[in-house]
């Protein structure tokens, strides 16, 4: 898959905006490294981008890690049943990824991304209600609902956020934002487990935290529209 992606990318032309930035850069004297430029000139954008990414990563880990553990250890599902639900969720991702991409092209990146983020709020409680039915169908629904929301948001968010940064630092800004959100997102299962244990084995705080994280991402996305994104200094 990596080789196929490399071949496709190698055959693609750069965007006119990027080509213009590269020509302008060649005419300038040596500047600071892109990472330094991002921290110096676009730190607000970086924080908002990290916040926007947060639910797509943290929510994913809550679904595939905490939900799976909860289903097996607390509700008595077998590992095979949980794996089957995970496979069903993967099928949802495979089917919905190109569909969500088409919707993003038709109805704008920001609108589709925000829709996916807000869907996390809507499914935060239903996914636990579903799994608590202790049926295989409920388990499948509990895994597929949040994965559907994650897919809708994740398909377009990278393209959307890349446009928030100036062409010269676009890759750096996008990467740092994603990795920052990733570091925080990987803590989500541990945080969910702690909330579950501290509340006397109630999933309500976990669902509330899941929804709150989605709201943080939604607010970050909305706030980014009001921030003047920086451009390279002349």
pLDDT tens-place string over residues 183-212:
999 999 999 999 999 999 999 999 999 999
CA distances from 11 to 3, 5, 14, 22, 194 (A): 12, 10, 10, 18, 48
**How many angstroms separate the most distant Cα atoms in the chain?**
66
- pLDDT tens across 32-74, in order? 778 888 888 889 999 999 999 999 999 999 999 999 999 999 9
Q: What is the reported pLDDT for 228?
A: 52
- Identify which of 72, 43, 51, 14 has the alpha carbon closest to the alpha carbon of residue 216: 51
Is the pTM of the predicted complex or chain greater than 0.75? yes
- Condensed to tens digits (0 to 9), the pLDDT of residues 95-127 reads 999 999 999 999 999 999 999 999 999 999 999
Higher pLDDT, 163 or 135: 135
Burial class from Cβ neighbours inside 10 Å (0-12, 13-18, 19+) for residue 161 reads buried
- What is the reported pLDDT for 234? 30
Contact 176, 150 (CB under 8 A): no
């Amino acid at each position: 898959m990596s080789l196929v992606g490399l071949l496709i990318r190698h055959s693609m032309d750069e965007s006119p905006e990027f080509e213009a930035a590269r020509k302008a850069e060649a005419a300038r004297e040596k500047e600071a490294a892109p990472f330094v430029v991002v921290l110096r000139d676009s730190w607000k954008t970086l924080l908002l981008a990290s916040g926007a990414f947060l639910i797509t990563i943290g929510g994913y880990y809550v679904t595939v890690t905490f939900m799976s553990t909860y289903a097996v250890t607390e509700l008595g599902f077998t590992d095979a049943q949980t794996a089957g639900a995970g496979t069903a969720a993967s099928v949802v991702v495979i089917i919905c990824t190109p569909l969500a991409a088409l919707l993003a092209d038709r109805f704008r990146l920001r609108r589709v991304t925000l829709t996916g983020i807000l869907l996390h709020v809507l499914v935060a409680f239903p996914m636990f209600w579903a799994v608590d039915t202790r049926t295989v169908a409920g388990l499948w629904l509990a895994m597929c609902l949040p994965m559907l929301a994650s897919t809708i948001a994740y398909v377009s968010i990278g393209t959307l956020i890349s446009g928030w940064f100036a062409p010269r630092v676009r890759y750096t800004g996008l990467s740092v934002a994603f990795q920052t959100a990733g570091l925080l997102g990987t803590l989500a299962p541990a945080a969910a487990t702690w909330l579950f244990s501290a509340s006397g084995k109630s999933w309500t705080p976990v669902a509330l935290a899941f929804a709150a994280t989605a709201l943080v991402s939604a607010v970050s996305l909305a706030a980014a529209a009001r921030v003047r994104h920086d451009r390279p200094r002349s």
